[in-house]
């Protein structure tokens, strides 16, 4: 009987077609996820005029999806440990894509807010699961980079939203950009066919043959046999998953992750929701003000991929600390009168170090916690962080009547706080002896057992 170390097989595999397939479909889901999320910032100036919204009302309306994202992350993160990541990803795609499409038919702010809240459940729920799936399948040497590449799809979606808004809204109205969001519904059959289930979940369910076939695709030199014992370190201790986040030396790190998520998401959604409006207020026409949103997400792609590349060579904590410091400086500098080229550059740097840092935060949390509490760790960090995301649009609405400098300085302060918080996270997770020794394996019985 051969013993197969699942983690080692995945960690030491070389990047191949299987990894590319996982990357492609997860990135595609995130592209549409990012499109659906950024879309509010694109239509905000038009909605404020059409529905005669005050800045505070507009900020509250923008927070509707973010409230949904908070609950979605808390619900769908842990749920995937029960029914599988693939099913949860499919469910959340249906929710956020379908409800964003229906948003185009909203006649009142109340209808709009309700549908945005429901869409937010899917948007928030899909993120922890695609991050966890990517983390579980990517080779160790390029894991941070690949998660960052995948999550840069969020910025591609945001850029697509701004780009389409510039060209569709003048001719077809704000509703048109919401109708585009229905495209992922047509791709659901392909996602179901090509997106693999997490191998850990398959072993947990006793689906040994499926797990073996997937491992053979991860590492082609491995040939599965019916007698194989699959060993998988789960990190499962004696406590429930949520309690385990605070045990074995993880208390400070968990709280600091939450502070960093809160602060980072506040910056991301404050800028994403209000940057076009602030630039419109500064004298730029709607089309040119939307181009700043385009540049924000363009910069995020370079920040995420470049930060991931650096993280695989140094350490995520060090890279993130520096990126947050740069975010605070670049956003503060937006308050100063600059040439257009300098202004675009500062917006791109702000996007690289806010949205890019958010992406790397997900990668850090996913790698920090053991497998058994990974989804819970990502889900709760993301869920608590949504309180910052909710606060961002509302803060922007409260400050919009103040000088432009006040808005950007208020958006920059959380960057300094996030940098301080992440610098206090432990370099690596500490596990209790039972977590290190708790090996899940599937033998000839085909059932998950605990050694």
pLDDT score at 261: 92
High-pLDDT (> 70) share of the chain, %: 89
CA atoms within 13 A on the CB side of 210: 12
pLDDT at 440: 39
Report pLDDT for 433: 39
Domain boundaries of the chain, sorted by first residue: 1-233, 240-428
pLDDT at residue 444 in the model? 39
pLDDT digits (tens, 9 = 90+) for 196-228: 998 888 888 888 888 888 888 988 888 877 777
CATH class, 1-233 region = mainly alpha
pLDDT of residue 131: 81
Q: Which is more confidently placed, 130 or 152?
A: 130
Count of CB atoms within 10 A of residue 155's CB?
28
Write the pLDDT tens digit of every residue in 313-328. 878 888 899 999 999 9
**Closest by Cα among 11, 12, 443, 13 to 230:** 443
Is the model's pLDDT at 448 over the cut of 50? no
Percent of the chain at pLDDT > 90 equals 16
Checking if the pLDDT of 42 tops 70, the result is yes
Tens digits of residue pLDDT in 97-147: 999 999 989 888 899 999 999 998 998 888 878 888 888 888 888 887 888
Q: What is the mean pLDDT of residues 7-36?
A: 88
Sequence-distant (≥ 6) Cβ neighbours of residue 158 within 8 angstroms: 34, 35, 37, 38, 272, 293, 296, 297, 300, 355
**Torsions phi, psi of 27, nearest 5?**
-65, -40
Matching fold, domains 1-233 and 240-428: yes
First-to-last alpha carbon distance for the chain, in angstroms, is 16
Contact 147, 138 (CB under 8 A): yes
User: How sure is the predictor about 94, in pLDDT bands with cuts at 50, 70 and 90?
Assistant: very high
Across 343-349, average pLDDT: 87
User: What pLDDT does 285 receive?
Assistant: 63
Q: Give start and end residues of each alpha helix (H) in 104-234.
A: 109-137, 143-151, 153-172, 175-179, 183-194, 199-204, 208-218
At 427 the pLDDT is 57
Q: Which range is least confidently modeled, 89-93, 320-324, 366-370? A: 366-370
Has domain 240-428 been given CATH number 1.20.1250.20? yes
Residue 162 has pLDDT above 60, yes or no: yes
pTM of the model: 0.72
Q: Is the pLDDT of residue 260 over 90?
A: yes
Closest to 366 in 3D by CA, of 155, 41, 127: 127
pLDDT, position 340: 76
pLDDT per residue as tens digits for the range 414-439: 999 999 999 888 755 444 434 443 43
């Amino acid at each position: 009987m051969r013993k197969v170390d699942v983690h080692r097989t995945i960690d030491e595999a070389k990047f191949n077609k299987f990894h590319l397939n996982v990357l492609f479909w997860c990135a595609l889901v995130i592209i549409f996820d990012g499109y659906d999320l950024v879309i509010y910032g694109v239509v905000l100036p038009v909605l404020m005029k059409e529905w005669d919204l005050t800045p505070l009302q507009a900020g509250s309306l923008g927070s509707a999806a973010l409230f949904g994202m908070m609950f979605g992350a808390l619900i769908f993160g842990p749920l995937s440990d029960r029914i599988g990541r693939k099913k949860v990803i499919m469910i959340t795609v249906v929710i956020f894509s379908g409800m964003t499409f229906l948003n185009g038919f909203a006649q009142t702010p109340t209808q709009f807010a309700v549908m945005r809240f429901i869409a937010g459940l899917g948007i928030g729920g899909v993120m922890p699961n695609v991050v966890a799936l990517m983390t579980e399948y990517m080779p160790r040497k390029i894991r941070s980079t690949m998660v960052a590449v995948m999550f840069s799809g969020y910025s591609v979606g945001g850029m697509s939203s701004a780009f389409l808004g510039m060209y569709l809204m003048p001719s077809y109205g704000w509703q048109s950009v919401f109708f585009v969001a229905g495209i992922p519904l047509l791709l659901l059959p392909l996602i179901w066919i090509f997106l693999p289930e997490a191998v850990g979940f398959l072993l947990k369910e006793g689906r040994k043959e499926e797990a073996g076939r997937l491992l053979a695709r991860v590492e082609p030199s491995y040939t599965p046999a019916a007698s194989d014992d699959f060993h998988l370190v789960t990190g499962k201790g004696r406590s429930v998953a949520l309690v385990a986040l605070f045990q074995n030396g993880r208390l400070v790190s968990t709280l600091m992750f939450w502070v960093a998520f809160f602060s980072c998401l506040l910056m991301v959604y404050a800028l994403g929701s209000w940057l076009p409006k602030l630039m419109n207020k500064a004298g730029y026409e709607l089309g040119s003000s939307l181009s700043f949103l385009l540049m924000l997400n363009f910069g995020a792609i370079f920040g995420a991929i470049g930060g991931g590349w650096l993280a695989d060579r140094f350490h995520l904590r060090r890279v993130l600390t520096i990126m947050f410091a740069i975010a605070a400086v670049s956003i503060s500098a937006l308050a100063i009168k600059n040439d257009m080229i300098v202004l675009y550059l500062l917006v791109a740097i702000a996007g690289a170090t806010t949205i890019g840092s958010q992406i790397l935060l997900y990668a850090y949390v996913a790698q920090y916690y053991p497998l058994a509490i990974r989804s819970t760790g990502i889900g709760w960090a993301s869920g608590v962080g949504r309180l910052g995301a909710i606060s961002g649009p509302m803060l922007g609405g409260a400050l919009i009547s103040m000088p432009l400098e006040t808005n950007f300085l208020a958006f920059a302060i959380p960057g300094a706080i996030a940098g301080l918080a992440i610098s206090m996270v432990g370099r690596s997770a500490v596990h209790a002896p039972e977590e290190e020794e708790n090996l899940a394996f599937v033998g000839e019985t085909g059932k998950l057992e605990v050694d």
